Amino acid sequence: MTTLTLPLLFLDDTVLLPGMVVPVELDGERRSAVDAARLAAQNGTAGAQEGTGIQSDPAPRLLVVPRLEGRYGAVGAVAEIAQIGRLPSGEPAVVLRAVSRAQVGVGVNGPGAALWVEAEPMTVPPADERTRELAREYKSVLVSILTERGSWQVVDTVQRMNDPSELADAAGYASWLEGDRKVALLETADTARRLTLLLEWARAHLAELEVAEKIREDVRDTMDKTQREYLLRQQLAAIRKELGDDPEGADDYRSRVERADLPEKVREAALREVDKLERTSDQSPETGWIRTWLDTILDLPWNVRTTDATDIAAARAVLDADHAGLDDVKDRIVEYLAVRGRRASRGLQAVGGRGSGAVLALVGPPGVGKTSLGESVARALDRKFVRVALGGVRDEAEIRGHRRTYVGAMAGRIVRAIKEAGSMNPVVLLDEVDKVGSDFRGDPAAALLEVLDPAQNHTFRDHYLEVELDLSDVLFLATANVADTIPPALLDRMELVALDGYTEDEKVAIARDHLLPQALDRAALSADDVRVAEDAIRTVAADYTREAGVRTLERALAKVLRKVATQLATGKATAPVEVGAADVRTYLGRPRFQPESARDGSTPGVATGLAVTGAGGDVLYVEAATMAGEPGLNLTGQLGDVMKESAQIAVSYLRAHGGELGVPVEALTSGRVHVHVPAGAVPKDGPSAGVTMTTALASLLSGRPVRPEVGMTGEVSLTGRVLPIGGVKQKLLAAHRAGLTEVILPRRNEPDLDDVPEAVLADLRVRLADDVSEVVRWALADSDAAGRDADEAAVRAA
Q: How far apart are CA 22 and CA 208, in angstroms?
A: 28
Facing residues of 768 across strands?
745
Would you say 85 is a known binding-site residue?
A: no
Q: What are phi and psi of 698, to 5 degrees?
A: -65, -40
Q: Which amino acid is at 387?
A: R
DSSP sequence for 532-547:
E-HHHHHHHHHHT---
Q: How far apart are CA 43 and CA 613, in angstroms?
A: 105
Q: How far apart are CA 330 and CA 387, in angstroms?
A: 19
CB atoms closer than 10 angstroms to residue 403: 11
Q: Which amino acid is at 736?
A: H
- Decide: 769 and 746 in contact? Cβ < 8 Å: yes
Q: How far apart are CA 226 and CA 220, in angstroms?
A: 10
Torsion, CA 455, CA 458, CA 462, CA 467, rounded to 10: -140
CB atoms closer than 10 angstroms to residue 19: 20
Angle 257-262-263 from CA coordinates, rounded to 5°:
135
For residues 782-791, one letter each, b for 16 or more C-beta atoms within 10 angstroms of the residue's C-beta and e for the rest, the string is: ebeeeebeeb
Would you say 301 is a known binding-site residue?
A: no
Q: How far apart are CA 690 and CA 653, in angstroms?
A: 11
Q: How far apart are CA 274 and CA 328, in angstroms?
A: 50
E-only strand ranges, 317-459: 358-363, 385-389, 427-431
Q: How far apart are CA 646 and CA 205, in angstroms?
A: 90
- Decide: 412 and 398 in contact? Cβ < 8 Å: yes
Beta-strand pair 385-389/61-68: unpaired
Q: How far apart are CA 361 and CA 326, in angstroms?
A: 13
Q: How far apart are CA 291 and CA 297, in angstroms?
A: 10
Q: How far apart are CA 167 and CA 521, in angstroms?
A: 60
CB atoms closer than 10 angstroms to residue 338: 13
Q: Which of 490, 480, 477, 481 is nearest to 446 (CA)?
A: 490
Q: How far apart are CA 658 and CA 665, in angstroms?
A: 6
Q: Which amino acid is at 544?
A: Y
Q: Which of 258, 266, 259, 256 is nearest to 470 (CA)?
A: 266
Would you say 371 is a known binding-site residue?
A: yes
Residue 423 DSSP one-character state: S
Beta-strand pair 61-68/75-86: antiparallel
User: Which H or E run contains 624?
Assistant: strand 616-627
3-state secondary structure of 7: strand
Would you say 365 is a known binding-site residue?
A: yes
Q: Which of 646, 623, 616 is nearest to 738 (CA)?
A: 616
Would you say 88 is a known binding-site residue?
A: no
Would you say 370 is a known binding-site residue?
A: yes
Q: How far apart are CA 739 and CA 727, in angstroms?
A: 19
3-state secondary structure of 103: strand
Q: How far apart are CA 369 and CA 510, in angstroms?
A: 11
Distance, C-alpha 361 to centroid of its chain: 26
Q: How far apart are CA 136 and CA 199, in angstroms?
A: 10
Residues forming the active site: 688, 731
How far lies 544's CA from each of 233, 534, 559, in Å? 71, 15, 12
Annotated binding site for ATP: 364-371
Question: Which residues carry a binding-site annotation?
Answer: 364-371
